[in-house]
Amino acid sequence: MNLFKQPLFIALIIMLFSNSIAAKVKIPFGEREVLNKVYDLPNTDEFKLKDGNFMDLATLHKEFNIAYFLPLYIMEEPKIVGYDEKTEAFYDIPQNEIDEIIASQKLKKENLLQLPFYTKYGGKLVAGLIIGLLIWGSIPSKKDKVEPRNV
């Protein structure tokens, strides 16, 4: 009888803990703001912030995603903002000042505003692949006809 109690007890403990862990882990999905550093400005007094850190350039956009790594679509196009990498804070700078900074660094604004391929299309491709596999798995396969033969 002891041989059955120990595995049963262990199975019961595993089930209890797995349910409590699964209840705490939720997959986040929805709208979120994404901040990507696109250019490291020189560490000069011109780009020094009040707290002593230096400003860089980043893009800020809103996207709808699943679990923070599967972006499905872009809700708001990217815009260039000031970015403090140490505090991970961004500063909404007027457009004319952004244009002056970009011109002083001899950059092209179009190149800075480009989103990575995965952000634009990768999430759609992965989601389409998952949906396709689910549909393909639910379609019953064709059974080969077996004809009886006399041997």
80, with CB counted inside 10 A (0-12, 13-18, 19+), is buried
11 in any annotated domain = no
pLDDT, one tens digit per residue, over 122-133 is 888 988 998 998
Whole-number Cα distances in Å, 142 to 35, 49, 132, 145, 149: 49, 68, 18, 9, 21
Task: Domain count for the chain, please give it.
Answer: 1
How much is the pLDDT for 140? Answer: 79
Which range marks the domain in which residue 58 is found?
A: 27-137
Q: Which two tokens stand for residue 40?
A: 């490291």
Whole-number Cα distances in Å, 75 to 32, 63, 71: 9, 5, 10
144 in any annotated domain = no
130 in any annotated domain = yes
4 in any annotated domain = no
48 in any annotated domain = yes
60 in any annotated domain = yes
Neighbours of 105 (CB within 10 A): 12
47, with CB counted inside 10 A (0-12, 13-18, 19+), is middle
2 in any annotated domain = no
> Is residue 58 within 8 Å of residue 101, measured between CB atoms?
no
> What's the pLDDT band for 1 if we cut at 50, 70, 90?
very low
pLDDT, one tens digit per residue, over 43-66 is 888 888 888 889 999 999 999 988
Q: How confident is the model over 62-90, as a mean pLDDT? A: 89
How much is the pLDDT for 137? Answer: 81
Judged by average pLDDT, the poorest of 17-21, 27-31, 76-80, 130-134 is 17-21
How much is the pLDDT for 60? Answer: 93
36 in any annotated domain = yes
> What's the pLDDT band for 94 if we cut at 50, 70, 90?
very high
